[in-house]
Amino acid sequence: MTVRIGTRASKLALTQTQQTADQLAAVGGFPVELVHIKSDGDVLTGSLSQMGGTGVFVAALRDALLRNECDVAIHSLKDLPTGLAVGLSLAATPRRVDVRDVLCARDGLKLAELPRNAKVGTGSPRRAAQLRSARPDLDIVDIRGNVDTRLGRVPGLPGNPTTEVVTGKSCDLDAVVLAAAGLERINRLDAVTEFLDTDIMLPAAGQGSLAIECRTADAPPRAGSAEGSREVLAQALAALDDPDTRLAVTAERALLARLEAGCAAPVGAYAYRKGSLLHLEAVVCAVDGTASVRDKRATDGLTEVGATLLGIELAEVLLAAGAADIADLQAS
């Protein structure tokens, strides 16, 4: 049996998919092959938030699974919509890596050191809102492209192929903000000038995590469910699942679902287990950075049900504090 693993063809997607494929093959003892799937997000241009947010990268992979063009799909979990996909299951959440966002700036500058009106690029409304809150004087520029393309917008960063200033293409920004996890996976952490503390910028729900999705009939059985499989693929997927990561992302995604927050809504959420408690902190921001509501809660219910209830509880707290009034939570 060869397990076909669906992936987007970007450098980051291929890298994280190959790493996961190697782990699956080692655990399951079966050969694997990568199947390249092209999504609308890879083809269309324009603002990502106007195209439906990061969820546009997921739809084509899900369709490929349902059409039996691949057996497993690997996503960045922060791209995965909170709504259920009929016939598919989140089969594994491997151990999470660094959740933080990072600043990659010219001349080694940190966020506090950027000059007034410095141009900072990001395609994320969540990052843009929190940047504007921390530094209202910055000029936030909406950008698209893969990791190398974004880093190429900042002059002097290690690994950049050119020093030519071309507006909209290369060396025309003072800094960009990206996820530490993505840079780590493609060995570009040398471009980071500051790891942004979660006090300044809460990550996207699921950031730093991967999602391994498959058809429900092929997935490991979940507690209390008769659906699933006990075949070798399911056993390998179960072995890659990290329980603490699953608890954390379950809480974060439950919060998003209760807020009814779309992919482009300016919401940050971060959950983590510490001892006998699961902690969750979240923020909802106005896109212009002028207002926000932020709070945190914890639970000793270390089950998926407990994590879900924690996310719902914190969402209710944020809604009661006016989250829906300051942000377009339904932004697609």
Distance CA 245, CA 49 (A): 27
Catalytic positions:
79
Distance CA 37, CA 6 (A): 6
Contacts of residue 196, Cβ cutoff 8 Å, sequence gap at least 6: 100, 101, 102, 103, 111, 177
Do residues 192 and 111 lie in contact, with contact meaning Cβ atoms separated by under 8 Å?
no
Kindly report the number of other CB atoms within 10 A of residue 197's CB atom: 11
Measured CA to CA in angstroms, residue 72 lies from 32, 34, 138, 183, 212 at distances of 10, 10, 42, 24, 7
Kindly report the number of other CB atoms within 10 A of residue 92's CB atom: 27
Residue 297 pairs in a beta bridge with 280
